[in-house]
Chain A
Amino acid sequence: DTIKVGVVGPFSGSAALQGRNFQAGIEAWFALNGKTVGDHEIEIIYRDLPAADPAQSAALTQELVVGEGVQYLAGYYYTPDAMAAAPILEEANVPMVVFNAATSAIVNASPYVVRTSFTTWQTSTPMAAVARERGINKIITVVSDYGPGTDSETAFIKAFTDQGGEIVQSIRMPMSTTDFSPIMQRIKDSGAEAVFAFLPAGPQTLGFMQSYVENGLKESGVALLAPGDLTQESDLGALGPNAEGMLTTFHYAVSHDSPENKAFVEAATGWLGNANELSFPAVGAFDGMHVIAHMIEATGGEQDAAAAVESVKGLEWVSPRGPVSINPENRHITQNIYLREVAKEGESWINKEIQTFENQGDPGWVAP
């Protein structure tokens, strides 16, 4: 029989690239593992949610469950969209596997939420140790003024001050900022030795990196540290030399050196058609499919959300990003976080892994 999986993501709109990466991850998983689990065939039903729009997310999710009869829900790029869908899960008896949305609290919204991506806390925290190891004492934080930005700021400040560092200033800049020169001026004036920055992956990062260089910060040795959203592989081509040498911490780099990743990248770029478009949401989707397949197997194709979620608690496997497991307590993925450096390899720019923080949980999670 056929088991339907409803995937909600941004397949159009300004985050369409990330939606495509969801799809690439799913297709890569099919390419490597086939479309069947036992004698159950998996059918994916896509629903487009171009921007954070919880009302629409609830409507689409409900329609997937009631109308299409999906047994699994997956995807969800933005936090509010996942939050809006979560209240439906118990009544619908459907588990939800979050491919991306990165706020710690999502897993608390329903016991049927499992997450295979990362949280902003998880990727931001290790950067504090990196900075301390490099002898940096004074840091200024600069983040986009929205949920993930403030999460990232809080996570970093906590870790950095715990390790004895000093935060000289914290700047939150509006999402719509296009001219970063005044911000760079602030950074200069603050006397910090380094900047910790968080910006969502996308067009803004280009202007930010460029301003950083043009305002002479790079030249004067003020290091730029950030979670990997700022240097996602699909933007690196444009960021180019401006980003060279920049340090980021993240759960996945396309350049990760492992047989699992080679196979994954090959399958995913094969589907995408353009190697430059591959980015981190694909691996969240790929591993999400792994989790869903495991659930299908464990429940024998029956619709039993409780049993399905129970079956993956503590599940361990080797993902393209490295060894991972599902934390039984909060159903969030435990994984390595890598320190990477932007470098040129041949003709293209990559995030080169130079250090590993193993088995990182979500430091931002608080038990409800």
Chain B
Amino acid sequence: MSAAKLEITELTAGYGQTRILEGISLSVPAAGRTAVLGRNGVGKSTLFATIAGQTRRYGGQILMDGQDLTAMDGSARARAGLGFVPQNRAIFKSLTVEENLFAGLKERPRGDIEEAYAMFPRLKERRRNMGGQLSGGEQQMLTTARTILGRPRLLLLDEPLEGLAPVICDELMAAFTELASTGRMTVLLVEQRLKAAFDFADHVVILERGKVVWTGTPGDLQEDPETVNRLLGVGH
């Protein structure tokens, strides 16, 4: 199982009658680490949800390793190797932690959930608890672990650090970097903590009002405080 290449062309999408994405094109090479940044409400989550097949798409194409995803429903995309960790975590509240993890296993044997426990020992302690009873941060760990268990070739992470203690954030970002740099996954990340995003990514995309307005490397961006300020609104 190896990382997949993502190519998006002229993607427009939204909810019901409301258009949010206004023609997005971007491409991520296999094993790439791309951070998608932008202010509140610019459509970062909508972009991920659209790639995962959960919004209404009006036009445009999404290719994963050359395979057109748009004709598939969310479940088929996942089976084709897409992994999605949504911003709202989407824990199965009435399933136990362990069952939540089973649900992410795809066709792998049940014993493999030990991988998740190795990543987050905290989850092992709570494994008989209902998902809905977990603390905010534990839920965040669970949703990430659950998706990674399915061994996606392309992983979409929507604010995976939200609510996590700083020490865990470090470990987690290190793990993501490891997954990408060993060529197992391509990772797209949305993150509010710019430092973490810059440390992780080899490429940055900035959205504004549903459009890509800037692309480049983290290095470029850090050297351009004016752009950072204008597009990401840091440091007023």
Within the complex, are A and B direct neighbours (CB within 8 Å)? no
Q: What is B's interface to A at a CB cutoff of 8 Å?
A: none
Please report A residues at the B interface, Cβ cutoff 8 Å: none
